[in-house]
Each structure stands twice: as structure tokens, then as C-alpha cells.
Amino acid sequence: MDDPRLATIRELVEPILSQQKVELVELSCRAQGRSTVLRLLVDAVGGVTIQQCASANRKITLAMEESRVLEEPYEIEVSSPGLDRPLVSLRDFERSVGEQLAVQAQQADGRVRELSGMLLAVQPEAIVLKTKSGNLTISRAAIQRAVKKLPW
């Protein structure tokens, strides 16, 4: 079950992250040994720099100390979700417009098709991918896996 303090922590950190021009992708709070580890995965259009993560970490640490949401010893980790993290949510896709993707999509006959191309647009229920053979609209329900494609 999720830690009940996460909602309070989320309310505390989201304005800080917004000022840093990054968005919270995932927040977790887990016991590790005698302390608690608060992990924040952040992202932004075009990616997140190490400097943005470090700056966000410092500001969140100060806010957490002032708020005393966690009374036990804790560590804060702010990082990027990484290039190989699957795109899942609508917001994940929206952040990736203009980037190259590798997509596995299930066809009507049940077979899985491997596609790659530049993400042109995101619609509520579909994405538009620019492939070598032309633009292709893919239902988000048909997408089994989508990741950003590395440039090499």
C-alpha cells in the first residue's frame, strides 16, 4: 500500500519542480535500513540535466526540513527516469513529441508489429508516428511497448 504521506509530499514538491521547469513522473517513499528513501523521478521536454536534478534536490531537502513531513531519518533522490523507461501515460508521450520512438503495437490479427519513427502528435486515444513509409496513426490501446529510440 502507498505511504499516506505521499500526497502531502507531492503537494510540497510539485511547485518546487515547476520552478525548476521539470515535472514529477514518479514519487516513492520506502524504508531502507533505519532510514527512509524518498525517490523522485522527474522529466521535462528535451530531458533533464544533472544540474536540474541537483538543484531540485537541494530545494526539496530544504522544504522537507521545514515541513517535517518525515520525522524519521531520510534521504532524497531526484533523478531522471532514464532513456529506456517505457512511455506509458499520455503525458509521457506528450513530452516525447519530436523524438524518435521504437513502438511495439498489436495489429487487428493479433500479431505484434515493430515500428519506429518520429512522434509527430499525441491525441487522447492515439499517437501519430512519422515512419519511412509515411505517417501512421496508432491507437494507444494497441501499443504494447514504446520507448525513446537512442540516436546511435
- Looking at every residue in the chain, the average pLDDT score rounds to 89
Specify the fold of 6-79.
Answer: GMP Synthetase; Chain A, domain 3 (3.30.300)
Q: Please determine whether the domains at 6-79 and 90-148 fall in the same fold group of CATH.
A: no
pLDDT tens string 10-57: 999 999 999 999 989 889 888 888 889 999 999 887 778 899 999 999
Burial of 4 per CB tally in 10 Å (0-12, 13-18, 19+): exposed
Burial of 44 per CB tally in 10 Å (0-12, 13-18, 19+): middle
With 60 as the cut, is the pLDDT of residue 122 above it? Answer: yes
pLDDT grade for 74, boundaries at 50, 70 and 90 = very high
With 90 as the cut, is the pLDDT of residue 86 above it? Answer: no
With 50 as the cut, is the pLDDT of residue 1 above it? Answer: no
Q: Give the dihedral sign, CA 27/66/53/44.
A: positive
pLDDT tens string 126-141: 999 999 999 999 999 9
Chain centroid to CA 20: 15
CATH number of 90-148: 2.30.30.100
Residue 139 phi/psi, 5-degree rounding, is: -65, 135
pLDDT grade for 2, boundaries at 50, 70 and 90 = low
Q: pTM score, two decimals?
A: 0.66
Domain residue spans of the chain: 6-79, 90-148
Residue 45 phi/psi, 5-degree rounding, is: -60, 125
92-140-79 Cα angle (round to 5): 15
With 60 as the cut, is the pLDDT of residue 152 above it? Answer: no
Specify which residues 147 forms β-bridges with. Answer: 102
Whole-angstrom Cα distance, residue 40 to residue 89? 17
- DSSP run (H or E) holding 114: strand 112-122
